[in-house]
Amino acid sequence: MADSAVKAADAAAVHDQLEQIERNMSTLQRVLTTPYPVAQTPKEVIWTLNKASLYHYIPVTPPEQRHPIPLLLVFALMNRSSILDLRPGSSFVEYMVKLGYDVYLLDWGTPGLEDKNLTFDDYVLDYLPRAVRKLKSFSGASEFSLLGWCIGALITTMYAALRPDDGLKNLILLTAPLDFTDKQCAGFIRWVNDQHFDIEKILANFGNMPGELLDYGAKALKPVENYITNYMRLWENLHDPRVVESWHAMNTWVTDLVPLAGGAYRQLIIDFYRNNRLINGTMTLRGERVDLGNIRADLLNIIATEDHIVPPAQTEGVMAAIGSEDKQLLKIPGGHIGMMAGSSAIKRTWPQIDAWLSQRSGD
Amino acid sequence: MVAAQRRTMYTRQIERGRGAGPRLLCGQRMRKVRRFVSQPSDKGNAVNPFDPLGFWRTTQDSALDSWSKSMVELVNSQPYAEATARMLDSYLSMSIPMRKLLSQTMEQTLSQFNMPSRTEVISLAERLTNIEMRLDDMDARMDDILRLLKSVASAEASVAAPPAAQPAARPARATATRATNGATPSGGARRSRSTSASAKAR
């Protein structure tokens, strides 16, 4: 009697296990083959130019509770800006909108072959100032805050140095690759400084730098984590919908690749990585010298301590060169992306950004 | 009951196997017990000797960690940088002539079919971008003109405001004026209309 009950219980347990395996397999298939609906925060397009778009996020707080100075977010040229609005409950944009910031996002779009000659000159002196003009006319504000991340931080830094009278009040830099003095530090610097790395040959072949090559470069810096541990983490947590959802959203963002305009890539490698022109003071855009001493906006420079793509050494040294009177360097534990989009970002990075910015947003 | 005692109890029951009784071993409860037993007794480094999977997982984690560290060291080394750069270079050297040949053939074929080539489409797209730039310039000028108009309107309103504000400030006197001078109310009404128009423009 007892034996048959045990057998039945074991059979039920095996059945349960098989069902669980089936569920896991279908979850795995869904996650790996379908995109997650990223960037869900309601927004409107208020300006477009070529592939670039300026989004305004619909405010959710009453006007009297809003910060009067709008915030413009500028992400890197490679990868999508949707990382700033990854998924509900885990979106920096949503977080800031709920806190009463008037948030705008400049999305660079996907460059085509017709954009292969676009350079930082165009992004810094054409696209960004035009987007800022539209932001100011749309919001009615004369001052604004800028948040730049990765290459977006490089663009915003140069803009802040070249157009200090445009109304820029606050500048927030996230993992900004600005100082390439240390040629031995981790990251891409060793690879792109090799004599066999022929930038002209790459661009002659592809026109723009393909997203797949950029993605390979970023992943190859931590191959085991990106190609093995990442998938093992998903496999081990297939029963946990929270982990699966987070992984799915991040994977959707990581696999949505964007090429980098050829002219901008050439400049990035030759002028910045190889010749360190920004720090040497020899960087010019359309004949105008980029002098970091001209930056007057209040500055918050955020570094991810475990960043392998933009090592801290490429950001720390720039503080002395920047002319702002109110400047602060903030070191946050985490990686290049995890610092702003991981679970710890909600507890650590975002509140610190808000704490700094709310004091300087005209309240 | 403390966790360690509970774990020992469950372990004994599992060791006894079927003797532990069907209630303990069935379905969800069995999974719960097995999961609990397979956890390390301490969140630190201790390995549960009764859990071969746990032991395997710990070994695997430490192996992955050391593998990851050595791979990071490798990709950050000069020989790796040189090797990848050489590989990319040789791939590009081989593919450039192929691409050139393909694009020439394609261009000829498309022109024979009276269709635009990629180069022509690209040049069209560049011209469109230039037109967009001009449109954006015009948009900027329109914004400037609107701003100027608004400032002119508000200046007009401020010129018109004191006489219009006077009756509101001193209602008794205004009533008296209106009663004595028939022309003033219509003038006042005109001014207030222009004020409201300028307010609308604002």
**What is the per-residue pLDDT across B79-129, written as a single tens digit (0 to 9) for each?**
999 999 999 999 999 998 998 899 999 999 999 999 999 999 999 999 999
Q: Tell me whether A5 touches chain B (CB under 8 Å).
A: yes
Rounded mean pLDDT, B15-35: 48
Q: What is the pLDDT of residue B60?
A: 83
Q: How far apart are CA A226 and CA A218, in angstroms?
A: 9
Residue to mutate among B126, B131, B135, with most A CBs inside 10 A, is B126
Q: How far apart are CA A318 and CA B103, in angstroms?
A: 45
**AA identity, residue A172:** I
pLDDT level of residue A299 (50, 70, 90 thresholds) = very high
> Can you point out the beta strands (E) in A181-287?
284-285
Of the ranges A104-118, A231-245, B163-177, which one carries the lowest mean pLDDT score? B163-177
Say if CB A259 and CB A217 are below 8 A apart: no
Using the predicted structure, report yes or no on whether residue B172 has a pLDDT greater than 50: no
Between B133 and B194, the more confident residue is: B133
pLDDT digits (tens, 9 = 90+) for A40-77: 999 999 999 999 999 999 999 999 999 999 999 999 99
Q: Residue B180: enclosing H or E segment and its boundaries?
A: helix B171-180
Q: What is the pLDDT of residue A13?
A: 87
pLDDT level of residue A187 (50, 70, 90 thresholds) = confident
8 Å CB contact of B76 and A113: no
**In this structure, how many other beta carbons lie within 10 angstroms of the beta carbon of residue A273?**
22
Nearest Cα residue in chain B from A132: B140
Percentage, residues of chain B above pLDDT 90: 38
Q: What is the pLDDT of residue B17?
A: 45
8 Å CB contact of A9 and B75: no
Distance from B157 to chain A by nearest Cα, in Å?
20
Distance from B129 to chain A by nearest Cα, in Å?
5
Using the predicted structure, report yes or no on whether residue A216 has a pLDDT greater than 70: yes
Phi-psi region of A227 (alpha: psi -120 to 50; beta: other; left: phi over 0): alpha
8 Å CB contact of A229 and B68: yes
Q: Which residues of chain A lie closer than 8 angstroms to B123, CB-CB? A: 114
What value of ipTM does the predicted structure carry? Answer: 0.82
Distance from B29 to chain A by nearest Cα, in Å?
10
Q: What is the pLDDT of residue B24?
A: 42
Between B190 and A36, the more confident residue is: A36
Between A226 and B3, the more confident residue is: A226
Long-range contacts at A355-359 (CB < 8 A, ≥ 24 apart):
A356/A172, A356/A300, A356/A328, A356/A330, A357/A67, A357/A71, A357/A101, A357/A145, A357/A170, A357/A172, A357/A300, A358/A67, A358/A99
Q: Tell me whether B25 touches chain A (CB under 8 Å).
A: yes
Angstrom CA distances, A328 to A96, A154, B65, stand at 20, 17, 34
Rounded mean pLDDT, A163-176: 96
Q: How far apart are CA B156 and CA B198, in angstroms?
A: 8
Determine whether A185 is an active site residue.
no
Q: What is the pLDDT of residue A158?
A: 98
Minimal Cβ distance to B82: which of A50, A196, A221: A196
pLDDT digits (tens, 9 = 90+) for A231-270: 999 998 998 999 999 999 999 999 999 999 999 999 999 9
Say if CB A75 and CB A81 are below 8 A apart: yes
Under 8 Å CB pairs connecting chains A and B tally to 111
pLDDT level of residue B193 (50, 70, 90 thresholds) = very low
pLDDT level of residue B7 (50, 70, 90 thresholds) = low
Beta partners for residue A289, in sequence order: A284
Q: What is the pLDDT of residue A265?
A: 97
Average pLDDT, chain B: 71
Minimal Cβ distance to A204: which of B68, B96, B123: B96
Q: How far apart are CA B180 and CA B198, in angstroms?
A: 29
Helices (H), ranges, B26-51: 27-38
Given the residues A67, A107, A122, A150, the one annotated as active site: A150
Q: Tell me whether A126 touches chain B (CB under 8 Å).
A: yes
Rounded mean pLDDT, A171-178: 97
Say if CB B80 and CB B74 are below 8 A apart: yes
pLDDT digits (tens, 9 = 90+) for A4-53: 887 888 888 889 889 888 889 999 999 999 999 999 999 999 999 999 99
8 Å CB contact of A130 and B136: yes
Average pLDDT, chain A: 93
Rounded mean pLDDT, B185-189: 37
Say if CB A296 and CB A164 are below 8 A apart: yes
pLDDT level of residue B6 (50, 70, 90 thresholds) = low
Say if CB A131 and CB A52 are below 8 A apart: yes
Using the predicted structure, report yes or no on whether residue A3 has a pLDDT greater than 80: no
Rounded mean pLDDT, A305-318: 92
Closest CA to A20 of A241, A231, A239: A239
Q: Tell me whether A142 touches chain B (CB under 8 Å).
A: no
Rounded mean pLDDT, A72-99: 95
Nearest Cα residue in chain A from B119: A114
Q: Tell me whether B21 touches chain A (CB under 8 Å).
A: yes
| SS3 of B79-103 | HHHHHHHHHHHHHHHHHHHHHHHHH
Given the residues A85, A102, A271, A307, the one annotated as active site: A307
pLDDT digits (tens, 9 = 90+) for B30-70: 555 555 545 544 444 555 666 777 788 888 888 889 999 99
